[in-house]
Amino acid sequence: MKVATTSRIQAPRDAVFAALIDPAVLQRTIPGCESFKAVGDDDYEAVLRMGVAGLKGTYTGTAQIREKHPPESLRLSFAGKGGPGFVRGSAVVRLSEDDGFTVVASEADVQVGGVIAAIGSRLIEAAARKLSDDFFNQLAREIRS
């Protein structure tokens, strides 16, 4: 399944890029994130508690940041599993400047299984958009503080 999102953050592009690769910032801004720990160069382990539609549960997983081109783009790979099923995939994140804002555009290719897959792609996409909106709103607040 393909999921594309776009967000605008009123901050310089280099500040947004730096926040997107900072594990401490990510732990504070990812919805439901209970832990986000570096386990290697740009490799992370995370625990998230989700409460959206059929995605409710605790997930453990990994994330890797690859192909960093500061402050323009990066590639993220991720995999997680929990009681409701599993999620894995990758995303390309591109940052551009627009009149004092940074536009963050993400294109993700996501595979899901288990109960998550049974709820349907439209509900999964809606949940992904809500989580993305919540993340970028919190990220914007974090950068401004």
**Structure tokens of 54?**
């059929």
Residue 96: the pLDDT is 98
Closest CA to 64 of 33, 38, 28: 38
Residue 46: the pLDDT is 97
Residue 138: the pLDDT is 96
Residue 66: the pLDDT is 94
My answer on whether omega of the bond before 71 falls inside 30° of 0, hence cis, is yes
Number of domains present in the structure of the chain: 1
Domain that holds residue 126: 2-144
Average per-residue pLDDT in the chain?
91
Q: The domain spanning residue 97 has which CATH number?
A: 3.30.530.20
For 51-105, the pLDDT digits (tens) are 766 567 899 999 999 999 999 999 999 999 998 789 899 999 999 999 999 999 9
Q: Computed from CA positions of residues 104, 72, 31, 79, in that sequence, does the dihedral angle turn out positive or negative?
A: positive
For residues 24 and 26, what is the distance between their CA atoms, to the nearest angstrom? 5
